[in-house]
Structure 1
Amino acid sequence: MGNLLAGRTVVVTGAARGVGRAIALACAAAGARLVLADILADPLAETTAALVAAGHAARAVPLDLAEPGSVAAFAADIAAHEGRVDGLVNNAAIATGIGGPEFDAIEIETWDRVMRVNVRGTWLVTRAVVPLMGAGRIVNIASDTALWGAPRLLAYTASKGAVISMTRSLSRELGPRGIAIACVAPGIMRNEATEYVPAERHRLYETGRAVPGPQVPEDITDTVVFLLTPGALALTGQVLPVGAGFVFT
């Protein structure tokens, strides 16, 4: 992607592994200075060290989306060290029970935790980072499960539907400030975070895509990088199902 993000500071949550790590690597390759956040301390340190060793500017900051105090400390740390943020990727989330219990068997505690992390956490991070932005860019990572109505995954699907709705609403609130916000909604990918997903759910995706086959995190990173550039302003509020044609909008 050349130097599309040269001179820009980009924050990526959930950057320790999987999709977040791939996004961080792509942003670094595009020239961004990175602030990487995750609750997984050791994998986060490993990802950050790998980027620094490769000559990229990257710094790790711990973050627990379920704890408002952690989000506040995270934003204060960025304000003290970077001062200004040009891009935010809200990638961190939890997924439980893909292909698991039906809607009436979901534990209330599970439902509440998914909403606390995926919905409230995304809002809290956005609220904390926006004051550090000028004409910035925000990319929310949702899921195409909220577009096609994936069964036996209600808490996660509902949370990602909320992220999509927040993206649309925030586009109108943040637009007058020159901030664009868009949403990428990939399907299930093959990575360490989805090893527990039942084989039949993987097959559903891999045979149902317009371009059949497995999808990996690197398949969405070019889209995310572009959405972080100044040229993505006109895409604010949009939801892009970057999933090789499993769903269309």
Structure 2
Amino acid sequence: MTETRVTDDSPAEALLRSLGIDAPGDIDLDAIAWTVGAKVREEELESCEARIIGFRDRAIITVSKDGDPRRRRFSIGHELGHWMHHRGRSSICRTSEIGNPGAASQLEKQADRFAADLLMPRYLFASSLAEMKKPDFEGVDALAGLYSTSRIATSLRMVDLGNWPIVLICHSRSGRRYFKRSHLIPDHWFPREDVDASSPSFQVLFGTVDRTRPQNVSASLWFDRRDANRFNILEQSVKAHGNEMLTILTLADRKMLAATSA
């Protein structure tokens, strides 16, 4: 009698395993799309970043030929998510709707999750994370190169699958756009809307600095809690697309993580 293997693979990860993909370099999205009845093509798109049009068991995914190739890969994965989960609908996705946890609808979030699982499957990405010594943008950029993914997509995946007490925050000059906590961060540690002018990261968002080194700062620069000045955290920021900034905060103080909201 053959034993059935039970896994917690997502639909995207199960698809990759069924195709025998066991290395990041084997994740060929055009070929994967073809196996599920979708053809990928690049064109000039003015009003959107990607779209999918399907009929019965066939679909055409069109992505913008301009911009970052890694961003295009995520867009293809996103549209494949629509094909696998929302078949029967035509989808036209704007830049603001792909890979943006702060603005996406539930349908777009589901397509984003499919793309993340497809490009950075847990059964491969968890091993890559285990080789990282610390959660910083140097490590993120190395992973992004290995998986051919954008920095923001890789950072979000690191928060999801890593075992570090970290918060990832995206700021524009008008304030916080979105943030994501690891499962180790209590909900009552909620980041501020603005970037404190005394934070080293302020010069990344409003000055000419492209990246800061990881450094200890007071937690009060990033959190509004009245007891935040009792703790230090590790902060690092980099410039991101469209005059935005990404920040990794590491909350390594056990007393800080145990502190209750008062």
TM-score computed with the length of structure 2 as normaliser: 0.26
Instruction: Report which structure shows greater RCO (CA 8 Å, sep ≥6).
Output: 1
- Higher helix share goes to which structure? 1
Which structure has the greater CA radius of gyration? 2
- Higher strand share goes to which structure? 2
